[in-house]
Each structure stands twice: as C-alpha cells, then as structure tokens.
C-alpha cells in the first residue's frame, strides 16, 4: 500500500518509514512531484494536519497523511501551540523561541507544558486522526545541546534531563511524535 507523506522533511519521512509495517510504502510529496510548501493557516494542530493531508489528497487522489506538532504551555494559555515554529516571529531561530518562552514564564510558578503531535490520514476514501502527547515542565534555563526546537527547555515529567540532554533514541521512545506514530501503526497494521 502506498501512502504519500504531506511533508518535505526527509528525516521525518525516514523515521516514519522505519517504523511502518513493510506492506506500507511511504513516499514524500516531493517524490510525487510537488515541490512547493503547503500553507498552514489553521488555528489548531488538528486543523493544520487536516489542511495538509487534504491538499495532497485533492492533488493526487491517493492515500496520504500529514502531521503537525507543537508545545502547549499551561500558564501561557496553551501557547505557542500551533505557532510553535514561529513563536518569536517569522524566520526566528530555536534559541529565539526558547528565550521568549523563558522570558514569558519569568517568575511564573506553573511550568507545566506538553508536546503534542497529531496525524491526519486519508485512507480508502475515509479520514482518520491519531494523537500522541507527553507532559512535562519548562526548565528555568536552557539545558542540553542535542535535539531541536524546544528540547533544551522541556523536561518530561518524572525525568531528570531535558529532551536536549537525552540521546535521540531515549527521546524517540517517549516522545509525542513516537506515541502518535504508534497509534497510527497499530491502526495501519490491521489494514492489508
């Protein structure tokens, strides 16, 4: 079964393909000949994942999926959420985003946050939705140099290290993305 991934991110494609059952062949939208970017005007992760998957479905008429992730901080009313990539402005760096979060949480006692991934799937004319999340806390300062995004300021609940202090393997076993993908895989493994 072929599935088109509505993303141009090669790392995500490889990670997902390595976890999918062998009867599923994941191809990127780039391989299908779409080299542009899909706009993400949604106000929630769910909306954006569906917008991206629907765009590819309408273009190619084939089974496809899209994902969207973000970090939701309780004391900031769920921000940056769907705006995680550009929290500190268009073309900002990961460091800019981290520093903005730390500034906005200065003196704030409630550090609760969670990462969330949603996956939207178009399969044989039906739509399905999968989700994974991990709870944690925003640290008082930047800790660790690995990973990306908000990894240096996010400590999963019950752990001593931030995501950026863990190996990729350790992170990938517990991450929001891994849990959403597990949810998807469980569903797909029932499809021949």
Catalytic residues: 68
Options 5, 122, 130, 150; binder of ligand IMP; rule CB under 6 A: 150
Q: Which residues ranging from 29 to 58 are in contact with ligand IMP (CB under 6 A)?
A: none
Q: Give the interface size with ligand IMP as a residue count (CB under 6 A).
A: 14
Options 24, 75, 85, 123; binder of ligand IMP; rule CB under 6 A: 85
Nearer to ligand IMP, 57 or 150 (CB): 150
| Interface segment toward ligand IMP; rule CB under 6 A; list 31-39, 100-108, 146-154, 180-188 | 146-154
Residue 139, interface with ligand IMP (CB under 6 A)? no
DSSP the chain: -EEEES---HHHHHHHHHHS-TT-EEEETTTTT--S------SSHHHHHHHHHHHHHHHH-S-EEEEEEEEEEGGGTT-BGGGGGGTT-TT--HHHHHHHHHHHTTT-S--EEEEEEEEEEEETTEEEEEEEEEEEEE-SS---SSSSTTGGGEEETT-SS-GGGS-HHHHHHH-HHHHHHHHHHHHHTT--
Residues within the interface to ligand IMP (CB under 6 A): 68-71, 84-85, 115, 147-151, 163, 175
């Amino acid at each position: 079964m072929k599935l088109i991934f509505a993303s141009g991110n090669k790392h995500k494609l490889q990670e997902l393909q390595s976890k999918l059952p062998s009867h599923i062949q994941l191809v990127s939208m780039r391989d299908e000949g779409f080299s542009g970017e899909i706009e993400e005007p949604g106000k929630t992760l769910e909306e954006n994942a569906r917008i991206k998957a629907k765009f590819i479905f309408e273009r190619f008429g084939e089974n496809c999926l899209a994902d969207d992730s973000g970090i939701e901080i309780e004391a900031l009313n769920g921000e940056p959420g769907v705006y995680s990539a550009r929290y500190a402005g268009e073309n900002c760096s990961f460091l800019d985003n981290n520093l903005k979060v730390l500034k906005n949480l200065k003196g704030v006692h409630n550090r609760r946050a969670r990462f969330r991934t949603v996956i939207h799937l178009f399969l044989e004319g039906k739509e399905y939705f999968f989700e994974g999340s991990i709870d944690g806390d925003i640290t008082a300062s930047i800790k660790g140099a690995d990973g990306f995004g908000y990894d240096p300021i996010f400590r999963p609940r019950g752990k001593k290290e931030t995501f950026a202090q863990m190996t990729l393997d350790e992170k990938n076993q517990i991450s929001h993305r891994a849990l959403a993908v597990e949810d998807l895989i469980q569903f797909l493994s029932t499809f021949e």
